[in-house]
Chain A
Amino acid sequence: MQYFWLIPVISFIAFIITSLIGNKILKQAWIFPMLAIVLGLGIYCFGLTEYLQSRFDLEHCFRSSVTGMVGCNYSVEWFTAGVRGADSVNSFLGFTVDPLSLSVAGLAIFVALMVQIYSIGYMKDDPRFAWYYSVQALFISSMILLALSDNFLLLYVAWELVGLCSYLLIGFWYEKPEAKEAAKKAFTVTRLGDVGLLIGILLIWIEVGSFNMSDLFTQVGSGEIASWTIFSISGLLFLGAMGKSAQFPFHVWLPDAMEGPTPVSALIHAATMVAAGVYLVARAYPLFVQSEAMMIIVSCVGLITAIGAALICCVSVDLKRALAYSTISHLGLMMLSLGAFGYTAAILHLLAHGFSKALLFLGSGNIMHSIDDLNINRMGGLKSVLPATTILFCIGALSLAGIPLLSGFWSKDEVIVSIVHNRNIVFAISSMVLVFLSGFYMIRLIIVPFFGSPNRDYSHAHKLPFVMLAPMGVLAVVVVLFGWIALYMPGAPASFGTFLFYSHPKNFHLEPDIAIITLVITLLSFGFGYLIYVKRFSIFQNMRIKARLIIEIVENKYYIDELYQILVDKLVLPAAGLVALFDRILVNDVGINGPGYVTRTVGSIIRHHITGRIYVYLALMTTGMIVLGIIWLGIVIL
């Protein structure tokens, strides 16, 4: 485990090598990042085994009294600023290995490996192939760093670096105006959230005197910190999490982020980076649970995001954007779960969603690769053209819809259980609505593009190379099997509930009544979707016309983007223009040039006494003499 630091470092080296010499070995530029990640996976597997098999008597490892989990910490000093010993700040490059970081790092490494293999096929004709791989390597490096870091400063560093990679990859095709605008939007919006995160970290330092997470948790646990402070710190951290995990009202950047290459969407904007917000909340969970108000806020934000995004997903016609809204919705669900004390459930859902959504995005990448179009209304009947993709896509979609035995089922069920148990009836009913909506949009995304009659000519569709299908197959296998780790398997070291937990281990157990209710709701939504999209019942068409206004609002994403645009165009930019004008007119022209102008004017007025004629000078001199004489006289007389 003490070699975990090598994973980000190797990838970082791969980033440097690839960005330096990538263009010389253009088609083989994938080698170094791939090598790095395979090595990383090896180190990870080795460490994971070590962790699972150890009896936790290793050096550096101890059981946290707050979280109850065993964590292993390794750190070296990074820098010290200020007067050493008296008034200084010490920061460390440290990583922690505990079940949470192992889970998220594992997800990141695995999905990244699959996506990188996939990308060899998907990106092979791109002129910036090398650039793509080097940024990918940088992303993996920082994502692993994010998952492993044991202090908030390092976490923030990694947090910003993944944001940078997201920016670079969304804007990968930077000639496209949409791509560059989307990249700018993504970075700016998440950056606004990061303001909160950074202030939160500063507050933590003020309170605790260090950035170390376990120091903070110990102090929080011992009740030394005022509840108001806990509320504000967790609120500020949550702002950062909202930005990164695209929670309402910061969600606007994620759908636009689909301008990036599809494998990027699969890795960064579905499986790993956007989950960082959820990860942050889970990381700082000991802090959040101390503030009941904060937990309610987290649940509410999660719920609003989840329902709002799910509704948009139901009407979106762009396949990738629909998937993006589905991602937002699921991230909201994870937040909701965290807010409802469903810690383990949220993380399990994070993993299950990560695998499934990566699979779905890669599926949409296949479609993009074959027919170069993403509008689902222009597809239809793809199952005959892309049979393998259809099956893989269905596995992912059904998993997220919550069909039993697929991984999404287990995690979703756990989430619903914790919501029903820990939150009131409004949340419970809303989560059922959410189950219905997610079932409905998933079946829509299956039926409309893949089944039914073809809406276009597929004769020019590209064949899919094996290198793209193989990683999807592996992912699909994981999606099918992964959920079972939720249960205790004989022979396995632990179930997920005893592996990753907050305060005390808790085995998963299926609650039959809730499971049956959700299953029924899901099947109902499938039936509903079948009636609308396959049978095309006229009653729904009429409904569509009747509810035109509502649908229009949803289709326009509640006009939130427009609202922001107006805010920026009509408020921020004019204000900035006003300040610039103020600077030029008032501060410069009046404040700085003003005295100069006055001096010059006065000078040019009084310089008229300089006539160049001697007698004028003499007259002035005489006047001066007379004045002096009078003054002297005055002094003498008085």
Chain B
Amino acid sequence: MHLILFSIISTVLLVCAVGVVISRNIVHSALFLLFALISVAGIYLVLLTEFLAIVQLLIYGGAIVIVILFALMLTRNEEYPRIQNNKLWPIAGVLAVLVCITMSVSYFQSGAIQNVPNTIAPAGVKSLGSSLFTTWAIPFELASLVLLVALIGAIVIARSDKDGN
């Protein structure tokens, strides 16, 4: 049952992901990305991690894709339909395949996954929360600082320099 669900979701995920990288129209790419990210949330659900699935939907599906669409809108020009692969794309394909092979082989070769239990346990949101706010409290606060800096940085960078020019 889980396996079937997993197969369906991961097929959708991979198809959407391929759609993102080969679609000629960039807006289609963005939509494919949205579906791909939602599929990832599905994977999380398969892994019984519902909290992260929700976070995934909210942040990726909600925020990031929207931001990307905004960016697309702001940088819209007539060359979008013509944006093609660059000259390196065959090499890129080869490299991607190579990475895929190397990493897969590594997974099969490494002994790290031999001794894990083959059942999935649900992660309780409560214990996750307590871990996040006790053991990981300082990194968590730092992450918020990073977000703040990124926010300010994004504003500073993106703002049109009326006073500069």
Contacts and interface: CB of A to CB of B under 8 A. Distances in A.
Q: State if A and B touch, Cβ cutoff 8 Å.
A: yes
Interface of A: 613, 615-616, 619, 622-623, 625-626, 629-630, 632-633, 636-637
Interface of B: 86, 88, 91-92, 95, 98-99, 102-103, 105-106, 109-110
B148 to A, nearest CB: 27
A637 B108 CA distance: 11
B91 A629 contact: no
B95 A633 contact: no
Contacts of A637: 109
B102 A629 contact: yes
Contact of B95 (A622, A630, A632, A636): A622
Contacts, number: 31
Nearest to A637: B109
B99 A633 contact: no
Binding site secondary structure of chain B: helix
24 contacts: A613-B86, A615-B86, A615-B88, A615-B92, A616-B88, A619-B88, A619-B91, A619-B92, A619-B95, A622-B99, A623-B95, A625-B99, A626-B95, A626-B99, A626-B102, A629-B99, A630-B102, A632-B106, A633-B102, A633-B106, A633-B109, A636-B106, A636-B110, A637-B109
**Which 9 pairs between the two chains have the least Cβ-Cβ distance?**
A629-B102, A622-B95, A626-B98, A626-B102, A636-B109, A615-B88, A619-B88, A619-B91, A615-B86
A623 to B, nearest CB: 7
Nearest to A613: B86
Given A622-B95, A623-B95, A629 B88 contact: no
Contacts of B99: 622, 625-626, 629
Contacts of A636: 106, 109-110
A424 B88 CA distance: 102
Contacts of B92: 615, 619
Contacts of A613: 86
Q: Which of B86, B95, B106, B109 is the most central at the interface, judged by chain A CB atoms within 10 Å of its CB? A: B95
Contacts of B86: 613, 615
A637 to B, nearest CB: 6
A615 B103 CA distance: 21
Q: Which of B99, B102, B106, B109 is the most central at the interface, judged by chain A CB atoms within 10 Å of its CB? A: B102
A451 B98 CA distance: 115
A636 B99 CA distance: 17
A446 to B, nearest CB: 104
Nearest to B86: A615
A636 B102 CA distance: 13
Contacts of A619: 88, 91-92, 95
